[in-house]
Amino acid sequence: MSTVLVDTSAVLALLVPTDAHHQRAQRAFKKLAADEARLMTTSYTLVECYALIGRRLGLDALTRFRADFAPLLEVVWIGSDEHERGLDLLEASHSAKLSLVDAVSFVVARDHDVERVFAFDPHFTKAGFASVG
């Protein structure tokens, strides 16, 4: 069973029918499910998902996400070590567009030898990860 890191961009693409990546996200998610891929994310990504889903789609969508999708995710809870290494990576990137959430995701993916991501954010492929989306 392969492990795939899930990013907020993929979650939103799945949930928002008008998202430019919605169809691709649905196809990729069905393939991941058929392949029984292990879906990993970070607590930072989960917080970002909850914030954006609540703001963009409302409380009902947030409740459905929590009940139906979040349980499918293996969550890596971020401690001070991952946080600090994410900050170091963020500062070393010299990119105002890279977020701490993404930098911490890179750290976690590398710590867990994850090479594939379910993401539509170009920062992940620029960082050397293969996108399944």
Determine the Cα–Cα distance for residues 133 and 119; give it in Å rounded to an integer: 6
pLDDT class of 133 with cuts at 50, 70, 90: confident
The pLDDT of residue 95 is 77
> Model confidence over 53-85: pLDDT tens digits?
999 999 999 999 999 999 999 999 999 999 999
pLDDT range class, residue 131, cuts 50, 70, 90:
very high
3-class secondary-structure state, position 74: strand
- CB under 8 Å, gap of 24 or more: what pairs does 67-76 form? 69/11, 69/14, 70/46, 72/39, 73/6, 73/39, 73/40, 73/41, 73/46, 74/38, 74/39, 74/40, 74/41, 75/40, 75/41, 75/42, 75/43, 75/46, 76/40, 76/41, 76/42, 76/43, 76/108, 76/112
Residues 14/25, Cβ–Cβ less than 8 Å: yes
Give the pLDDT band (50/70/90) at residue 94.
Answer: confident
Number of structural domains (the chain) is 1
Instruction: Give the structural domain span for 29.
Output: 3-131
- Please give the distance of CA 57 from its chain centroid, rounded to a whole number: 18
What CATH number is attached to the domain comprising 74?
Answer: 3.40.50.1010
Query: What pLDDT is attached to residue 97?
Result: 86
Q: CA–CA separation, 31 vs 50, rounded Å? A: 24
Mean pLDDT of the chain: 95
